[in-house]
Structure 1
């Protein structure tokens, strides 16, 4: 622009010499042109430098985008195995996915109950292990009994003279002494004399009687007692009836069956008698393949049985869902102008829990957490009808975690379902909804 003005002024002065006294000299004009040339060169250099800087930034941005794309393709955390004596819920190892750990009955969880695959491709929380619960820590055995810790229960080795699950009952002693005043038996032969006896059935045994110096001593085999005045006959002791009063006095955890001279414990279908012969242990039909679930179904072990479940993604108007793991469905991207689609849940996750009947409450059953909150508010709420609200409630444990609480004990057998909704909001505007469906299988027995 400055150069054009100078050239125009020079041409005007050349064409109108009468104005020569007002026009700059040629030397002055040449000096001005040189200054303009320097100024233009400086602008050109600055412009070229700006172009070079812009190209560098574009190249860095392209390189960074390529690395992020490559990382996104391989963004999985290391495989997380289920702990010994426990189970892992969730199979996806992708960034943002969550797994949960449950311990078998008789074991307590050490470490994190829930772990999330972080952007650093490491698992959050601490390594989860299942540690055997020491049932003998409270010294349950009485009267000098020795406690033996076993899986999910304990047994007592009682001292002499005591019996019962916790050695709380004295052992009944049956011994009869009779005085024989007959003079026909001499002391020499009395020491070896034994009275005759007869057996009439498996629950009746002959007594063992010995005459010593005119006195008759009669005893019975273990598990039998002399009945009434007939010292020659021993009848079976019904141990199940003798120790049936009160939980502490029960010989068997489930059912006691009287046998000749003793007893045995039996368990319901789906359980086996433990090594101590008194307690019951659940049979894992899923691990032992004693189930009839198809390939499309997942076997969930429950106390006393199993359940075959199949997770199908929900069908909701204005949105479509795809299964990203066996227990999770995520919504496909919504069109920009489809507001109805953006209001539907972003994901559905499914979890199944097996619990015993009459589980003590209140108790935390499940936790839901946000990995990377996007808004300024997280809201947790309980969905479902009257049955869900009768047994469950939702509480917040920290800023990003809500927990499903069992509000009251449940008598089995029963199947309860609860849905926990986690909503993300920014200035009260909804950014996303996430639904967690929890199904709880309650067993019939309180083992």
Structure 2
């Protein structure tokens, strides 16, 4: 009946009103919680800011720099009459650790033996502080430190140059990978190459040749565009040029294998390997090491720091007719250090 229908509609209306009131109450509660979260969030963000622990200044010295976030630097100075041993600058790494090792300030003049005497009952008691660093100098049997040794009362301490961390043995030096730790200043067009004790920013550019044009097919490779029919000068230019960068230590023993060049497939009946160009030819040699492989050898040691380049050419022939030339440019970044 009409009366029953109206009664049902009123009940539905009351139920909807109750649901709407409950919804509005829930919405107001959610807004309050959201405001509380937004109010608290800045404090949370500040409390988890990525930073390194505050580095202490060395004794008889001071620290410059008050920002300890990732990527920031701090610097160290010594008081007059003292010299700084260790890195002058340390960088906060992404691992939330400082690069290098903690520096120290040492008196500028130290003798092999320092004698401290105290008088007791008219008797002079002397204690000699032996300088272990001078008793066991670098490069001799009983080597204490790979790089630098500093005498301390009753002991000694090893230090590494910038770009290295002191190894867990307390005497050796471990290279810091600036490229991996984002400690470099290379641009987006450059490639960061880690070296022993530093890094290099390189940018590969395809060469310009009068009778041939090249395009970059990968960050480290350029390929020649097809030649016009009958253009002999173009066909004699390298089909491809690859670039490789090798970090090495100073005064590395020789002969030593540096790099191998191989052909993925052979169309002709002969493969030849040799050095192209005259730069640094006296340091390198190329030998055949397999049917499709040539090896670049270091034949004389190189004292760093230095940068040398070797060009390995692979030629493919069919009945002595040239089918293609492939050039590999290998650049050596020689460290100033032998470790």
Query: Is 2:282 the counterpart of 1:390?
Result: yes
Q: Matches of 2:257 and 2:305 in 1, distance apart?
A: 20
| Paired position in structure 2 for 1:274 | 167
1:285-309 Cα shifts (integer Å, max 9, x gaps): 1111111110100000000110000
Aligned equivalents of 2:323, 2:277: Cα separation in 1: 22
Summarize the alignment of residues 112-123 of structure 1 with structure 2, pairs less than 5 Å apart.
none
- Please give the per-residue CA displacement for 1:326-380, whole angstroms capped at 9, x wherever unaligned: 1000011112232322121100000000111111111111111111111111111
Looking at structure 2, the residues matched to 205 and 350 of structure 1 have their Cα atoms a distance apart, in angstroms, of 62
Deviation string 1:153-186 (CA, Å, 9 cap, x unpaired) is xxxxxxxxxxxxxxxxxxxxxxxxxxxxxxxxxx
The equivalent residue for 1:369 is 262
Residue 325 (structure 1) aligned with residue 229 (structure 2): no
Structure 1 position 430 matched with structure 2 position 304: no
Conserved in 1, the CA contact under 8 Å of 2:138 and 2:144?
A: no
C-alpha distance in structure 1 between counterparts of 2:184 and 2:125, whole Å: 54
Whether 1:409 aligns to 2:301 is: yes
Superposition pairs for residues 218-297 of structure 1, below 5 Å? 231-244=124-137, 247-297=140-190
Partners of 2:252 and 2:312 lie apart in 1 by 21
How far does residue 206 in structure 1 lie from its aligned partner after superposition?
A: 6.1
**TM superposition shift of 1:233:** 3.1
Secondary structure of 2:143's aligned partner: coil
SS of 1:411's equivalent in the other structure is coil
State the secondary structure of the residue aligned to 1:232. strand
Conserved? CA contact 2:271–2:314, under 8 Å: yes
1:119-155 alpha-carbon deviations (Å, 9 max, x no partner)? xxxxxxxxxxxxxxxxxxxxxxxxxxxxxxxxxxxxx
TM-score by length of structure 1 reads 0.48
Considering Cα pairs closer than 8 Å and 6+ residues apart, tell me whether 1 or 2 has the greater RCO: 2
Query: What SS class does the counterpart of residue 300 from structure 1 fall into?
Result: strand
CA distance in 2, matches of 1:405, 1:308: 25
CA distance in 1, matches of 2:139, 2:200: 34
Are 2:191 and 1:306 equivalent residues in the alignment? Answer: no
- Residue 245 of structure 1 deviates from its aligned partner by 7.2
Could you tell me how far apart the structure 1 residues matched to 2:228 and 2:144 are? 67
CA distance in 2, matches of 1:320, 1:404: 27
Shift of 1:260: 2.0
User: Could you tell me how far 1:389 is from its partner in structure 2?
Assistant: 1.7
Deviation at 1:261, TM superposition (A): 2.3
Residues 412, 336 of structure 1: CA spacing in aligned structure 2 closer, same or farther, 3 A cutoff? Answer: same
**1:69-103 deviation per Cα after TM superposition (whole angstroms, max 9, x unaligned):** xxxxxxxxxxxxxxxxxxxxxxxxxxxxxxxxxxx
Match of 2:8 in 1: none
SS of the residue corresponding to residue 251 of structure 1 reads: coil
Q: Give the whole-Å Cα distance in 2 for the aligned partners of 1:431 and 1:382.
A: 18
Q: CA deviation at 1:241?
A: 1.4
Q: How many residues align?
A: 226
| Equivalent residues of 2:178, 2:199 under 8 A apart | yes
Question: How far apart are 1:248 and its partner, in Å?
Answer: 2.1
Larger of the two Rg values belongs to structure: 1
